[in-house]
Every structure is written in C-alpha cells, then in structure tokens.
Chains A and B, each alone.
Chain A
C-alpha cells in the first residue's frame, strides 16, 4: 500500500468519526430533551449503537461488542422494565436548572481544557505508548496467537482484571434481577389482596 493512498484512507476514517460523533451528540441531546421516557430509552439504544460503530472504526472491536450487547440490548430492556414499574412520562421539574447547568458546562469546559495538554491522538511518543505497549505489540502474536492486540491485552495480559470485571457485572445483574422480580411479586400479591 503506497503512502498517498494510506493518507487518503486515514482522512476518510477521520471524516466518518466526526460525522458519527455529531450523530452521537444529537442523539444525546434529544434523549435528554424528550419527555417521553420510552422514546428516551430507545434513543439511548441508538446512542449505544452509534458509539459501538465508533469503537469499530477506532479498531477496538471488544469494546464495540460490549457496547452493542450491553448498551443497545440489555440496558434498553432494563430501562423499559423500570419505566414499566414507575411511569411513562418525566415529571416537569419546578426548580430552575441554571445552577446545575452552569456547573456541568464549567466541568465540561475544564475537561476539554485538560485535553489540550494531552498528547495528540495516535502520537507514538505519548507516555501511554512507551510503557508496556511496545512489548505487547512485539510479542502479542507469538505469545497469545491473537491477531488483535486489544483482544490480547484484555483477555490474556489483563485476564485477571477482566475476570474481576465480569464478576462485578454478574453480581450487578443478579442484584437488578432480584430487585425487579421482588417488586413484581409484591405488586401481584397486593393486587390479589385488593381483589379479595
């Protein structure tokens, strides 16, 4: 592959990233804006799908799968289940949102200001790329036989870390299921008592 073609492809990559990020931004704003909570839950599903696409374009396939399965699949189902238990419409807040809004904008501005001091995207001399990354890049194929370095790092070099994460997610899932089924059962028994 000659250099010029490679550069052109890099640029397409960048444009697709920018367009998808704009879509993500629009979806996020709309999800907050809408008062219908079912619509908000569905928009959050779209948000996760778009983020997953972004991860695929950025070549983090594992993160993309997690985002698509958890964000677009399970979270939508859980949100809808909680909406079913509570209410379909968001109540209008009586308080003025100005102070929290200013706080959020200030924090966001500080975070964006902080990114100015960070090394450029994909800079090979960034501190994060000088520590263990060269070792992973050199040996991941021979040691783990996985062609994707991200997969090798997540599933092999940081295998115990990932195991801990899986345990946390499993425990959280059990907790949510216990809460939701308990509520459902209580509701049903209340109904039976009323009928009696």
Chain B
C-alpha cells in the first residue's frame, strides 16, 4: 500500500517537473526540470521494484543515478560555450 502511494506521489512529481520543462522560459528552468525528473525516475524505478516484488531494480536505479548527470553537464557546457561565443 505504502509503495502504491509512493509511486503515485512520484508520478505526480514527474508531472510537475514535466509542466516546468514545457513552460520554463529560461534554459535553467528546463535544466532543473530535467535533472529533477531524472532523480524522480530513479526513485520511481526503485519503488516499482519493491511494488512488483523485485528488489533487484534498486541496482538499475543506482546505475540510472550515475547516468543522470551526463545530460545536465552537456547542457551546462553548451550554455557556457555559447556565453563565451557571445562575449567574443
């Protein structure tokens, strides 16, 4: 039961992150939304693992947590490069 409530709450949080990613006027809003959604998806996979009786999903969510920041770093480097480009 507790896992069901937790997964419903996480799905709702993902929806909130999605709305910010759709609406967010600046790059940083969307960046935060993407990073937040990555974190929530890591948690969701862990909770789903316990919900479906397969706790080994925790390993998968850990690997996702390791992968999660690559996109964020790519976007941040892009923004930095563009700034430098604009200054020149």
Contact = CB atoms under 8 A, between A and B. Distances in A.
Contact of A52 (B11, B15, B64): B64
A149 interface: no
A13 B52 contact: yes
Interface in A1-57: 1, 9, 12-13, 16, 19-20, 23, 26-27, 30, 34, 38-39, 41-43, 45-46, 49-50, 52-53, 56-57
B37 A46 contact: yes
Overall SS of chain B's interface: helix
The contact size tier of chain B is 35 or more
A68 interface: yes
Contacts of B33: 46
Interface of A: 1, 9, 12-13, 16, 19-20, 23, 26-27, 30, 34, 38-39, 41-43, 45-46, 49-50, 52-53, 56-57, 61, 64-65, 68-69, 72-74, 76-77, 80-81, 83-84, 88
Interface of B: 4, 7, 11, 14-15, 18, 21-22, 24, 27, 30-31, 33-34, 37-38, 41, 44-45, 48, 51-53, 57, 60, 63-64, 67-68, 70-71, 74-75, 78, 81-82, 85
